[in-house]
Amino acid sequence: MKNKLKQLFETKKDNLLSIYFSSGFPTLESTTTIIETLGENHVDFMEVGIPFSDPLADGPTIQESSKIALDNGMNLKLLFNQLYNIKESNTKPLIMMGYWNSVLQFGVENFLKACVKTNISGAILPDLPLEIYERKYQALFESYNIPMVFLITPHTSEERIRKIDQLSNAFIYAVSSSSTTGNKTGIEGAKEYLQRIKNYQLKSPIITGFNIKNKEDYQFACQFTNGVVIGSAFIKAINKEGDLKKNILDFLSEFELKPRNL
């Protein structure tokens, strides 16, 4: 089966929109509702957050959602079961995003087998060092056709960025700042950095995340990259009182995004 994420980048090059959410939040059964609702709307792919007790790169919003998800009883085995139940109905690429310790505890090959069974299109594991991945795990991930997505920051050297570009077979995640997710600095502060990355003319698509909160941020970032990831702002939106699906649609309406089937 051809990788959905690779298919996406073959057919759409610009203004890509990805949503990150913490699986098992706000309730244990929310994951499928979120994926189904986003999948029916103008969202190109989704990052499925694996809750972890000590998420180093995440700001307070995602940390809190991860804690609640764990308290709700979410774990990788249950998450994969939920994803398996919707693998036929969901047409959008899903990427697993979490921390290496969770994968190690689950078993690296067990994780990859479960990704294949549930039609997962890639993985983002920020604390897995590039060199260790290349030396110990690259061949294994590639044998299961699960692309690894690497992060770069404003402090990443051009040499390392170009090495990541050569290793990448999905996209590169350009973190817009060197702080945690959801901070109060606007995306416009990353203009020089994003322009520099654009000037490198890398072979891999670039998706930027951190500090994308609204339509204006989305449009600004897409001048320099192929698309954006929205995380903290979405999690705040679905944590409001009321119907989960309505909260998701209300959030997407701010971007003037309409269901694809209308």
> Rg of the chain over CA atoms, in angstroms?
17
Please say whether the beta carbons of 62 and 231 come within 8 A.
Answer: yes
Structure tokens at 17: 């929109």
Q: Is residue 33 within 8 Å of 61, Cβ to Cβ?
A: no
CA dist., res. 4 & res. 244, Å (int): 26
Q: Which amino acid is at 33?
A: T
C-alpha 203/C-alpha 172 separation (Å) is 10
Q: Which amino acid, 22? A: S
Q: Which residues contact 86 (CB under 8 A, 6 or more apart)?
A: 32, 35, 36
List 29, 58, 64, 216, catalytic entry: 58
Residue 47 known to be catalytic: yes
Catalytically annotated residue among 40, 44, 47, 217:
47
Determine the Cα–Cα distance for residues 46 and 36; give it in Å rounded to an integer: 11
Active site includes 29? no
Residues with active-site annotation: 47, 58
